[in-house]
A and B are shown apart, each in its own frame.
Chain A
C-alpha cells in the first residue's frame, strides 16, 4: 500500500508524539502515546439505519484510562432514534462514566450535509436536553459546512454544542486542498478543533492560531502500515 503521497514542500507528516488529543476508533489498536494523552475520543457505539431498535456496541469494555479526559463517541446513521435507543445509549454513557475517572462528554459523529444542518440542530437541542448536565456535548464536522453552510444555521448548531471537531482527512489521507476549506472556519461561530489523521500531510495555515475559537488538534489514530 502506497502510504506515501506526494509531499508538498513545507508540509509535514502528522507525528503523534507532537499531539495530546486523539480519536481511538473501533478496531484500532491503542498506541503508547495514549498513556500521556490529555483527551481521548473513543468510539463506543453506533446506531445504524438498518437496525431501527438496536445499538451496536463497538468496544468490548469501557475504557478505564484515568490520566486523560475521555469522550464517548457515538456514530449515528440516522437521527430518528427510538426511545429505547436513547435509553440504551445513555445507559452506556453512564457505564463508561463509572468505569474510568469520569467521562468528559459525548461526541456525536453524524455526516450531516450542509442542506441538513437545520434538522441536525433540532436533533442536537433535543439530545442535549436528555444528556445529564455534567457532560459536554460535541460533534464532528465536515469541512464543507464552512464553505457551503448558511451562517445562520451554523449559529444554531453553535448555540447547542460545546465544540466541533472538523475532519481534514478521508481514509488514511489528508483531503487535498484542506487549507482552502480551513480558511472558511474563520467565520465559524463555535469553539472547534481540527481533526488530523496519523501520518497524514499537514501544514498549519497561518491564520489558524489567530482564530479565537481554535482549540487545538485531535489526531485520528491508525493501525500501523508496517
Chain B
C-alpha cells in the first residue's frame, strides 16, 4: 500500500505546506564570485560548510559524510542554489504515475477505501449481503474536504446490518465519514468504541487505534486557522495534542511494524511541532536522518521539512542533542548582520563564544566538527583569521576529503589569504589534488583564480595545463581584468575552446574601440570569422539561470564590430571606415561623432564591462587594460565647444547631448553630469544657431 508515505508527508493541513525555497522574492540569482559568504543569497551556496549557505545545503553536506561509501565525485559548480545540489545528492526517480493530491486528510480516501474493502473481504462471519452492501457504500463516497460538512449526505448510503462483524465495520465506516467531513469529536468517539469492543478483524483493531490518534491530531488544530490561510500552532488544542501523542505511542507499542507505523512516526513529529516540543522534535528528526535504511520519507523532503519545522524552533532554543542538527543551527546563527531569514520572529543576539562552548557536549563524538564550528566563529563572527590557522591544522595533502575535512581546509585557506600568508597559493595547489569529492575542485579553482588575480599573475591562469579549468572563471578574468596582450594571446590560442577565443576577441575589440586603440582594433577585427554572431551586446555570465531545460549558450557577438547593422540619424559609414579615419586622426570630428553613433545604436551605453566588479570578487581588481570607459556625453561636449567642428556635426552633437537626458532627466551617456541650465543652453543654441536642421525642428523639449 502506498498509504503510509503520502500520509506522513502530506496528510494534514497545517503541516503539509512547505516553506518557499527562497526566503522571499528578493532579487536575482546573481552570483558572487568569492568564497566568503556570511549571508544567505539564493544562488551562492558552496560545497563547504559556512553560514551563508542555505541551511539545507549545510545539512545535506553533513548528511553526505554519514555515508562515506556513497560519496559522490566529480565536477559541479562553485556556486549554486540548494535545490541544484539536492537534485545531485538525491536524484528523484522519474515517475509519471504520481497523482497530484491537494494535501488534506481526504487524500487518503482512496487508499483507505481499498484497505477497508480488503479487510471486509477477509472478515469472517460476515454475511455476503452485508459485505457487498458495505463495499458498495464505501466505494460510493468520495469526500473532498473542501466544504464544511461535506459528506453529511453520505451517511444515508451506509446500509443496515445485523451481524456482529457487520456492525463493527459499519461503525468504522460511520466514524471514517465523520473524520472526512471534519467532525472529529464524533470520529474519536466512534473509533474508541471500536477499539473497546475488541472486534474480531485484526485490521479493524489496528486501524481504529491508529485513527483515534489521527482524529485527535486533526481536532487539535481545528481552530488554529486564520483569515489569510495562516496556521498558528499556538492556537491548537493542547489536550487533543496530548491525546494524539498518547494514541500514536500506544499504536506503535502494539504494532511496531504495523501498516501505519511509518505514518504514525511521521505524525508524531507533527505532534511535537504543535506542542512546541523542540527537544523531542529534534530527536525524531535525528533519528530519521541517521536511519539510512528508512525510506519512509524521502531524504530531500525530510531536509526541507527540517528546515521548515525544526529550524525556526532551534534558532531560539538550540536543544538538539544531535550534532548534525546542532551544527546546522549554529552555522545559521553565525550569519552576518541581517543574514537571518525574513520569517525569523524576534531578535536573535549574535552567537557568543560562550553560547558555542555550552554546546560542546553534543559534539563529544565529533570533535573535528566542533573544532570547525569554533574556527567558523573565529572567522565569521570574531573576524580573527589568525585564530583559525591556530585551530585548524594543515591537512592539505590528503588523497580525498569528506565535506567536513574539506570545509576545514578551505576555511584554513581563506584564513591564510586573510592574513596575507605567502604560502596561501601553495596551500590551495596542494589541496586541489585531493579535492575530488563532488564540487570540491570548483571551490579550490575559485580560490586559486582569486589568488592569482590578486597577485596580478593572470598569465599563470592561462598557461597550458593551468589548474583553472572552469570556463566561467576564465571568462570573468578575460572580460574584467585582462590587458590587451593576454586578450590577444587568447584570441589567437588554438589550444583553448572557440568560446574562449571569442570571449577574448570580443573583449579586445570592445576595449580597443572605446579606449582609443584604433590601430589595435583594426588588427584584431581581422580575426572575426565571416559567419560571426552580430546580435549583441554580450551579457554573458552575469546571470546564471536554470529554465528547467537546456538553453543554448549565448553566442559571442564578435560580428557586432565587423558589420554595422544600423546607421542612425547621421550619415555614417561602416564602423571599420570610421575607425580607419580615427586611426589616422583621432580628432576627426565626423569620425568621432560616428563612433558615438555606433556605440549608441549598438547598445553600449552604461555597458556592464565598463562598471567594476566588487573588490572582493573574482574580476574585482583594477583592469589591466589601459584607458578609461568611453562617454558619449564627453564626446558631444568636446564637439560642441570645438571650433573646428563642422556645422552639422555640432548641431548633431547638441541634439544628442540633450537626448542624453531624455526622456527621464537621467544621463544615459556616462561622463560628468551637467546641470539642467546647461541642457537649456544647448537647447537654445540648437534652436537658434542650427534652426534649419531637421534635428532642431524635431526637438520640442529638453530634460
Q: Which A residues form the contact surface with B (CB < 8 A)? A: 1-3, 23-30, 34-35, 40, 42-44, 46, 48-65, 73, 75, 77-81, 84-85, 87-88, 91-92, 95, 98, 109, 111-116, 119, 140, 142, 144, 147-148, 150, 167, 169-173, 175, 180, 183-184, 186-187, 195, 207, 220, 222-226
Contact = CB atoms under 8 A, between A and B. Distances in A.
Given A87-B100, A171-B39, A61 B18 contact: no
Contact of B346 (A64, A88, A226): A226
Nearest to B538: A115
B26 A223 contact: no
B228 interface: yes
Given A167-B26, A226-B347, A57 B92 contact: no
A60 B543 contact: no
A52 B96 CA distance: 10
Contact of A77 (B26, B83, B98, B663): B83
Interface in B567-598: none
A84 B15 CA distance: 23
A58 B100 contact: no
A186 B549 contact: no
Nearest to B91: A50
22 contacts: A1-B337, A1-B340, A25-B343, A26-B19, A27-B19, A27-B343, A29-B230, A30-B226, A51-B92, A53-B95, A60-B230, A75-B22, A87-B100, A111-B27, A111-B28, A111-B545, A114-B543, A116-B545, A171-B24, A180-B666, A183-B666, A226-B346
Interface of B: 13-29, 39, 41-42, 83-84, 86-87, 92, 94-96, 98, 100, 102-103, 146, 225-232, 300, 312, 337-348, 539, 542-543, 545-549, 551, 554, 603, 606, 608, 663-666
Nearest to A91: B102
Top 6 closest A-B pairs, CB basis?
A78-B548, A80-B548, A113-B543, A27-B343, A186-B664, A59-B229
A116 to B, nearest CB: 5
Contact of B345 (A40, A113, A148, A224): A224
Contacts of A186: 663-664, 666
A55 B343 CA distance: 21
A50 B87 contact: yes
Contacts of B87: 49-50
Q: Could you tell me the dominant secondary structure of chain B's interface residues?
A: loop
A60 B229 contact: yes
Given A79-B547, A84-B100, 17 more contacts: A1-B340, A2-B338, A26-B17, A46-B18, A48-B21, A49-B83, A52-B94, A53-B95, A56-B18, A57-B17, A60-B13, A78-B548, A111-B25, A113-B542, A116-B543, A186-B666, A223-B345
Contacts of A84: 98, 100
A49 B546 contact: yes
A18 to B, nearest CB: 20
A220 B346 CA distance: 17
B27 A167 contact: yes
Given A51-B92, A63-B228, A26 B338 contact: no
B276 to A, nearest CB: 15
Contacts of A180: 666
Contacts of A77: 21, 83, 546, 548
Given A26-B17, A28-B342, A43-B20, A52 B92 contact: yes
B338 A57 contact: no
Nearest to B27: A170
B197 to A, nearest CB: 35
Contacts of B543: 113-116
Given A57-B103, A61-B229, A113-B543, A50 B39 contact: no
B599 to A, nearest CB: 16
Contacts of A81: 548
Contacts of A148: 539, 608
B548 A79 contact: yes
Nearest to B82: A50
A136 to B, nearest CB: 18
B570 to A, nearest CB: 21
B626 to A, nearest CB: 26
Contacts of B96: 53
Contacts of A140: 25
Contact of B100 (A35, A54, A61, A63): A54
B86 A50 contact: yes
A25 B342 contact: yes
Contact of A109 (B25, B228, B551, B664): B25
A48 B21 CA distance: 8
Residue among B41, B103, B229 with max Cβ neighbours from chain A (10 Å): B229
Contacts of A223: 342-345
B355 to A, nearest CB: 15
Contacts of A87: 100
A95 B146 contact: yes
B26 A78 contact: no
Residue among A48, A91, A109, A173 with max Cβ neighbours from chain B (10 Å): A48
B15 to A, nearest CB: 8
A173 B338 contact: yes
Contacts of B86: 50
Contact of A144 (B28, B338, B549, B554): B28
A26 B228 CA distance: 11
Contacts of A171: 23-24, 26, 39, 338-339, 341-342
A207 B664 contact: yes
Contacts of A109: 25
A96 to B, nearest CB: 9
A187 B27 CA distance: 21
Nearest to A28: B343
A34 to B, nearest CB: 6
Contacts of A58: 17-20
A194 to B, nearest CB: 14
B29 A119 contact: no
Contacts of A183: 664-666
Contact of B229 (A53, A55, A62, A112): A62
B347 A225 contact: yes
A150 B232 CA distance: 45
B100 A170 contact: no
Contact of A65 (B103, B227, B343, B551): B227
Contacts of A1: 337-338, 340, 347-348
Contacts of B23: 171
Given A25-B342, A144-B28, A46 B229 contact: no
Contacts of B341: 171
A219 to B, nearest CB: 12
Contacts of A115: 539, 542-543, 545, 554
Residue among A3, A50, A64, A81 with max Cβ neighbours from chain B (10 Å): A50
